[in-house]
Each structure stands twice: as C-alpha cells, then as structure tokens.
Chain A
Amino acid sequence: MRFYQFWLRFRKNRAAEISFYCILVFVSLALLAPWLSPYDPFALGQRPFLPPQSGHLMGTDDLGRDTLSRVLYGTRVSLMVGVLAAATSLIIGTAVGSVSGYSGGFVDELLMRATEYVLVIPRFFLALLIVAMMGTGITKIVLVIGFLDWPEIARVVRAQFLTFKEREFVLAARAMGLKNWEIIFTEILPNAIPPAIVVGSFLVARAILLEAGLSFLGLGDPELISWGMLLSDAQERIWFSMWLAIFPGLAMSLLVLSINLFGDGINDVLNPRLKEK
C-alpha cells in the first residue's frame, strides 16, 4: 500500500515517470545483452568501417566489430559501475554523517574537516592518479569512485542527525535506556535515509560520467567494453567514421539524463516541501 502511494505521487511528475521507464529499458538491455546483441562484441571479421545499415544498425569499427553489440555490452559496465560506486558512497557517507552528527564535538569537527578536504581536492585527478598507479580493474574503479564521492551524502545525513537527535522520540528512547548504536540504527537512521537516497541517485549518474571519463583517458578495465572506451576509440577515427562517436555518447547522455530526472522525481515525493511552485 505504501509503495502504491509512493508510485501514485511519483507519477505526477511526467518527466520522472518517463525516465523511470527509460531506466528500466536500459536495465533490461544490460541484462539481456548476450541475447540481444546481433554479433559477438569482441568478434573480428565483419567488414571494417561500415556505416550504419541493415545488419549493422550502428555500423562497424576499425576491426570490423559491430558497434550496436558493443554499445549494448557497454550498458552493463556503465550501469554496474554507477550503481555499485554510488552504493559505496552511500555506505561511507552515511557512516561518516551518522557518527559526525550523533557524537558532535571533536569527532564531528574532525570528520567534517575531512569531508571538506575531499570536497575541495580535484577528485577526478585523484581518481586518475590512483587508477593509473594501482592498475585498471573494474573493482578498483568502482571503489575509487565510491571512496571519493561520499561528502554530499555525509553532509545530508549529518544534517538529519542534528535535527533529530534532540527530538522527543529520541529523548524517550534514551530515557528507556537504549544504547547509542540502537538509537542510531533504529530511531534516527530511518529518518536520515530518504534524503540520502535522493543524493545517491544523482551520484549514480555522476559515477557513470566519471567512469566514462576514466575510460576515455585509457584508464578503463581493458577486459570489458565501456562507453568511455568506445568514445576514446572513436576519437582518432571521428573524421571518417563519426557513427563510432555518435551512438555510445547518445546512449550515455540518455541514461544520465534519465537518472537525473528520476532523482528529481524521487526528491519531489520525499521532500515535498522543497518543491517550488
């Protein structure tokens, strides 16, 4: 019942509803990539540099590989990195924000200083540096992005903790003799999660762009196909085979746009007061 109400309110935002369906399509494409791809994405041997045509809807690349199949497989990497990296950020940010907001004092000061530092440093450069030196596995990329993009979550969660920790129901819980960790987990955290989820949904989009940026600079996982890597390959060949650049970029833009609109939609439902109008 609660889910149904959520859905009804979410659907009032048409753009968010459409983008939700878009995301569903992307997820299905990613899951079904091995069955939907007309060719093996790694297989050589088709004619190279074919423009889009029937049989190769998105053309072929310099080694005669089918671009459509490669874009489909790229969906998997982008979605996976986006979701897992954002989940990592969500966990770290929630932990830092909860401890910071609940304990206050010196611990709070220290953690917030650290958060500020992570916000200030050029994070993309740091990610580049780490991946370049530590190696380019997909797990490392997910962790690096996740460990660099948590400050916004931490700030949001901390703000929630500051608001809630002096409220009556928390004071009552303390009077009943609940331990600190029980109060954090059962009383305050459930109230801090919704705004964190909203920020987290935007982080998915940002992580996808970050991973694509890394792959574009040659720091993607060489074992996997990602959209950034496709665009990097297309860069040198854009003069005579522009389709190699157009399609992966279109797919990525559409996915990132959908996720952002979807995040806006969730925000409208969860924080109705913040909505203008």
Chain B
Amino acid sequence: MAKDGSVKSYILRRLLHALPLLLCVVVFNFTLIHMAPGDPIQSLIGEFPAPEAYVEAMRSAFGLDKPLYVQLWLYITNILKGDLGFSFYYRQPVLAVIVERVPATLQLMIPAVLFSALAGLLLGIFSARKPYSLSDNAISSFALLGYCLPIFWLGQMLMLIFSIKLGWLPSQGIKTLGAELEGFKAFADRLSHLFLPALALSIRHVAINVRIMRSSMLEVSYEDYITLARSKGLDEKTIVARHMLPNALLPVVTIIGLDIGFLFTGSVLVETVFGWPGIGRLMYESILKRDYPVLMGTFLITTVLVVLTNLIVDLIYLWLDPRVKYGRK
C-alpha cells in the first residue's frame, strides 16, 4: 500500500482531473437548452402551463435577454450554488426531487452489484477449473445469454413467471403499500420486492464478470509462480485461494468499475418495469411529463456519481495490488 500522503494527493489529482468532464456536461446541458426546438425557456421550465410571473422570473434568473456568454456564466454559477433549476411538475427544486430518489436506486443497485460480483467470481473460478468441460460450457453459454437478453424484457419475463404465473413474489413497487409492517416483517417485505428487480439488473453483470473472471483465472494459471506452487506440493484449494485469486481479481475490479454507467442504464429500465421509485423511474416520468430540468439534473448527478464510484474502485484497486503505485503520470 502506498503511503497515506500520496493516496491523498492521488485522490485530489483524480478529482481535479474530473472537473473538466463535469464542466463539459454542464456546458452540454446549456447547449441543449438552446439547440432544442422552440424557446429556451420551455427547456428550462419543462412543457407545463406555468404562470406568466414565474416564466418572467426564470427569464431574468437565467438572463435570457442577455448575450450567450453571460447566460452561460449565470447557468454555471447557479449550478455551482447547487441550484439545478426548479421542477414545476413536482413543485420542488430539481436537486431535492433527485436526492429524494437516490436511496431507492441505491437500494436496488448495491445488492445487484454485490450479487453480480459474488456470483460472477464464484462461477468464473468454477468455470476456469476445468476449461471446456461440460460445466464450463454450460456456464459460458449462460453468460453469453445473460449478456444478450434485453434487460427490460428479462425483467418482464421474470415478472411474468414469478409474480403473475407462480404468484411467489410481488411485481411492483419497493414495499407493500398501506401495510403497516414492523421489524422483521417489514424487512422481509422489502426483500421480497427487491428480489426480482435486483435479479433482472444483475444478470447482465454476472455474465460479464463470469467471462472476465474465467479468462483472468486461466491466464494466471499459466504463470510460473503457479507452477512453483504446484511443484511445492500445495493443495489445489490453497493455490486457488492464495496464489491465483488475488492476481486474477484485478481485471474484474476494473470491469466492475467501468460497468457502473451501464448499471445506471439498467436501473432506468428495470425501475420502469417494476415500478421502483428511484432515479430511473423519475427519468421515465420526467420524459412523459416533458420535465426537462429534472432530466438535465439527473444526467449531471449520475455523471458525478459515476466519477465518484470510479474513484472508489481505483482506490480498491490500489489496496488490492500493492505493486500499483499511483505516481505523477
């Protein structure tokens, strides 16, 4: 592990590195407001019948009568103050609307990430132990299928089988509405609602992790130190757990980090299928309501979240692999 000081400066450098990206996103949103057909004010407040006084207030707040560079400056400073605009549909600031939905999305995404990591690793290790055997081929076929199925259709089919046909699990929402549950029962209720959406969301990532883990394990198995471990007479379990796994894990960690963006994509679709009240569902509703400020705000917030998770993943990488030293370059 590198020294604390260098880790700190590394984090700082990475955050600085991300700033231009966030600025690009803000400038992009601004450009979109002006490129969209119709009056920019429509993009700023969404397509609702807003009172005239409100429209005028927005016009002056964003300086729509001033030159473009002044408008851009106003737009950026507003966002830096944490003001992502106002959702006229929800009658709340956009930031508040989004922040309210974040916990639900995390409740769906975190279990999905953990499950896909764990299942992917185990299946990948199992698959790599006897390459091209029956079990390996079965797992590889499953992985290919999981990678190709459209995630929202998979969600619909899971719902069809387990909720509609078998009646085992609830099909919509995050908990049973109107039921006053406490303690363990409330937890079990939440869990039963979580199961299908989390499964639908994670299958694709299980598939990706299996493929990476399998090839990574196979690659490591040809290394000299594994031959050495074998010739020392270590048993297979120790070789896999102590010598192969730590080295094979690294590419998987990278892929899980890169996948975070796709996970957000998946959660929009899965939340729409299962009526899960998170960011994804919010996006779907905002599309239907033409609530543009919320759409732009969500894009900005998810970009920030993706940048932060990538940073966290890199730190895990640093912790896992002491060889990696984050130098100046």
Residues of A at the B interface (CB closer than 8 Å) are 113, 117, 119-126, 128-130, 132-135, 205, 209, 212-213, 216-219, 231, 234-235, 238-239, 242, 245-246, 248-249, 252-253, 256-257, 260-261, 276-277
Q: Which residues of B contact A125 (CB under 8 A)?
A: 264-265, 268, 283, 298-299, 302
Residues of B at the A interface (CB closer than 8 Å) are 20-21, 24-25, 28-29, 32, 35-37, 43, 131-132, 144-145, 147-153, 156-157, 159-160, 164, 215, 218, 258, 261-262, 264-265, 268-269, 272-273, 283-284, 287-288, 290, 292, 295-296, 298-299, 302-303, 306-307, 310
Known contacts: A133-B36, A238-B160, A249-B157. The answer to whether A124 contacts B43 by CB under 8 A is no
Known contacts: A217-B284, A219-B287, A256-B150. The answer to whether A133 contacts B43 by CB under 8 A is yes
B35 near A238 (CB under 8 angstroms)? no
CB distance from A134 to the nearest CB of B (A): 6
Question: Can you list 5 pairs linking A and B with CB atoms under 8 Å apart?
Answer: A121-B306, A122-B303, A133-B43, A246-B157, A253-B148
- Whole-angstrom CA separation of A117 from B22 in the bound complex: 10
For the complex of A and B, the 5 pairs showing the least CB-CB separation, nearest first, are A249-B153, A124-B265, A257-B148, A133-B36, A256-B148
CB distance from A197 to the nearest CB of B (A): 20
- Whole-angstrom CA separation of A213 from B28 in the bound complex: 22
Q: Which residues of B contact A248 (CB under 8 A)?
A: 153
Select from chain A the residue with minimum beta-carbon distance to B204: A209
- Whole-angstrom CA separation of A120 from B36 in the bound complex: 24
A216 near B269 (CB under 8 angstroms)? yes
Known contacts: A209-B150, A256-B148, A257-B145. The answer to whether A120 contacts B261 by CB under 8 A is yes
CB distance from B157 to the nearest CB of A (A): 7
- Whole-angstrom CA separation of A248 from B153 in the bound complex: 9
CB distance from B89 to the nearest CB of A (A): 14
What's the dominant secondary structure at chain B's contact region?
helix
Known contacts: A122-B303, A212-B150. The answer to whether A133 contacts B157 by CB under 8 A is no
B268 near A124 (CB under 8 angstroms)? yes
A242 near B164 (CB under 8 angstroms)? yes
B264 near A117 (CB under 8 angstroms)? no
A134 near B37 (CB under 8 angstroms)? yes
- Whole-angstrom CA separation of A126 from B132 in the bound complex: 40
- Whole-angstrom CA separation of A129 from B303 in the bound complex: 13
CB distance from B59 to the nearest CB of A (A): 19
A135 near B157 (CB under 8 angstroms)? no
A245 near B153 (CB under 8 angstroms)? yes
Residue with the highest number of chain B CB atoms closer than 10 Å, among A123, A132, A213, A234 = A132
- Whole-angstrom CA separation of A253 from B146 in the bound complex: 10
Known contacts: A217-B268, A249-B157, A257-B148. The answer to whether A121 contacts B261 by CB under 8 A is yes
Select from chain A the residue with minimum beta-carbon distance to B28: A126
Select from chain A the residue with minimum beta-carbon distance to B18: A120
A133 near B292 (CB under 8 angstroms)? yes
Q: Which residues of A contact B164 (CB under 8 A)?
A: 238-239, 242
- Whole-angstrom CA separation of A129 from B31 in the bound complex: 12
Q: Which residues of A contact B269 (CB under 8 A)?
A: 213, 216-217
- Whole-angstrom CA separation of A134 from B273 in the bound complex: 25
A234 near B150 (CB under 8 angstroms)? no
A117-B21, A218-B288 given; name 11 further pairs at CB < 8 Å: A120-B306, A122-B264, A122-B299, A122-B303, A128-B268, A128-B295, A129-B29, A133-B295, A218-B287, A231-B152, A256-B150
A121 near B25 (CB under 8 angstroms)? yes
Partner of A252 from the list B150, B272, B288 (CB cut-off 8 Å) is: B150
B37 near A135 (CB under 8 angstroms)? yes
- Whole-angstrom CA separation of A175 from B93 in the bound complex: 64
CB distance from A235 to the nearest CB of B (A): 7
CB distance from B125 to the nearest CB of A (A): 17
A128 near B307 (CB under 8 angstroms)? no
A134 near B36 (CB under 8 angstroms)? yes
CB distance from A232 to the nearest CB of B (A): 9
A276 near B150 (CB under 8 angstroms)? no
Select from chain B the residue with minimum beta-carbon distance to A127: B265
- Whole-angstrom CA separation of A126 from B299 in the bound complex: 7
- Whole-angstrom CA separation of A212 from B148 in the bound complex: 13
Select from chain B the residue with minimum beta-carbon distance to A134: B36
CB distance from A214 to the nearest CB of B (A): 10
Q: Which residues of A contact B306 (CB under 8 A)?
A: 120-122
Q: Which residues of A contact B283 (CB under 8 A)?
A: 125, 128, 217
- Whole-angstrom CA separation of A128 from B149 in the bound complex: 20
B287 near A132 (CB under 8 angstroms)? yes
- Whole-angstrom CA separation of A235 from B157 in the bound complex: 11
Q: Which residues of A contact B262 (CB under 8 A)?
A: 124
- Whole-angstrom CA separation of A248 from B150 in the bound complex: 11
B215 near A276 (CB under 8 angstroms)? yes
- Whole-angstrom CA separation of A8 from B50 in the bound complex: 66
Q: Which residues of B contact A123 (CB under 8 A)?
A: 261, 265
B144 near A260 (CB under 8 angstroms)? yes
B303 near A124 (CB under 8 angstroms)? no
Q: Which residues of A contact B272 (CB under 8 A)?
A: 216-217, 235
Q: Which residues of B contact A260 (CB under 8 A)?
A: 144, 147-148
A249 near B156 (CB under 8 angstroms)? yes
CB distance from A261 to the nearest CB of B (A): 8
Partner of B273 from the list A132, A235, A276 (CB cut-off 8 Å) is: A235
CB distance from B267 to the nearest CB of A (A): 10
A213 near B152 (CB under 8 angstroms)? yes
